[in-house]
Amino acid sequence: MGQSKVKVFIGLSGGVDSAVSAYLLKKQGYDVHAVFMKNWTGTHLNLAGECQWTRERDDAKKVAQKLKIPFEVWDFEKEYRRDVIDYFFKEYARGRTPNPDIRCNQFVKIPLFLKRALESGADFIATGHYAKVGKSQMANRKWQFHLLNGIDKEKDQSYFLCTLTQHQLKHILFPVGGMTKVEVRQLAKKLKLPVAAKPDSVGICFIGEVKVEDFLRTRLQEKPGPIVDTKGRVLGKHIGLAFYTIGQRHGMGLAGGPWYVIGRKWKANTLIVGKLVEQKYLLASKFIAEKVHWVAETAPKLPATFLVRHRYRHPVFKAQVSKISTGLRVKFIKPQRAITPGQSAVFYRKVKNNLEVVGSAVIEKVEKKGFIW
């Protein structure tokens, strides 16, 4: 059945996933319009980002021309800088490790894009995320929308979409969520899309391949101090505790490695590192989380046991989630490595062959004795 009267605005990023998504939508008969979101130019922090975003825009435009669909550029840079980048620096200055991709989807990429698209006559928006949307009918005949994992376990991006609302899920499509990355690449090559062989983007959301340390240096001042091992022996000097995250392996410039960051003494301005055999110091079972979001928009009955992922690409593990006055307390059945304040914990449940995102919260404090994270 054709979808000729159903208008979809696809976010074309300049990558292969959104390009194939646009093709699939057009093939299914939708009235497809392409939008490139200009969220970051790099000029505000004196980073060489001009060629990065223009290259992505030009690639997106080439895809739109190849598919013969309308193309526009929408500027959300002011909002992105305020809601994602400023937050990013504030969190690192506090010694926390935020996830800019989740923050971007929560405040810019999904809500601002959707709002403007609906105002422009769209019925749906679409992105190249590896995720799926399901729905079920409630007793009151209303539809309940569900956020599900993409079938490619290596590329599943449901973690980054954990703050989606019912309104957003009602109006969003993920055309490649039921495909593997290999299948997406093969189709792009078969169609001779201009970005078929383009490597996947890495780095900070919309900023690109900039080292986090270099990016942080544009705003955060260095505050050097000693690097010590678990016995207190001085091994070298760090540039400032805010530049390091728990579990980090690279960027310390120490001989005899590998070394891992396992603690930070803020009053003494001391970075604590350990060897691979000292990974036990990175294990913890409990944490407090705030900024709670439930996808169904009503909280489930707590306490409850969920499958929890405390950082992207980390496997899910069973944990009991309980309500407390400030948010949630999460207790893993099995200790986990490098649970990090500032990161998001995403709660899943198994539904048939899928993992469904139930909700999420931002990790506030890890409850453990010994090294301070």
**pLDDT at site 1:** 44
Q: Which of 104, 122, 172, 246 does the annotation list as catalytic?
A: 104
Tell me what percent of the residues of the chain surpass a pLDDT of 70.
93
In whole angstroms, give the CA distance from residue 124 to residue 164. 14
Global pTM? 0.92
Q: Does the annotation count 104 as an active-site position?
A: yes
Q: How far is CA 365 from CA 326, 327, 330, 361, in A?
A: 11, 11, 11, 12
Q: Give span(s): CATH 3.40.50.620, the chain.
A: 7-191
**pLDDT at site 45:** 54
Q: Which helix (H) or strand (E) holds 349?
A: strand 344-351
Q: Give span(s): CATH 2.40.30.10, the chain.
A: 281-367
Tens of pLDDT, residue by residue over 260-307, are 999 999 999 999 999 999 988 999 999 999 999 999 999 999 999 999
Tens of pLDDT, residue by residue over 212-264, are 888 888 899 999 999 999 999 999 999 999 999 999 998 899 998 899 999 99
Burial of 72 (0-12, 13-18, 19+ CB in 10 A): middle
**Partner residues linked to 260 by β-bridges:** 274
The answer to which of 2-11, 57-66, 122-131 has the lowest mean pLDDT is 2-11
Which CATH superfamily is 7-191 part of? HUPs (3.40.50.620)
Q: Which of 67, 205, 235, 284 does the annotation list as catalytic?
A: 205
The answer to which of 138-147, 234-243, 325-334 has the lowest mean pLDDT is 138-147
Q: Does the annotation count 51 as an active-site position?
A: no
Architecture of domain 221-274: Roll (2.30)
Tell me the CATH class for 281-367: mainly beta
Q: Tell me the average pLDDT across 330-356.
A: 96
Residue 14 reports pLDDT greater than 90: yes
Could you tell me the end-to-end alpha-carbon distance of the chain, in angstroms, rounded to an integer?
55
What number of CA atoms fall less than 13 Å from residue 36's CA on the CB side? 23
What number of CA atoms fall less than 13 Å from residue 366's CA on the CB side? 28
**pLDDT at site 206:** 55
**pLDDT at site 343:** 97
Q: Give span(s): CATH 2.30.30.280, the chain.
A: 221-274
**pLDDT at site 312:** 94
**pLDDT at site 257:** 84
| Nearest-10 crossing angle of helices 181-191, 16-27 | 70
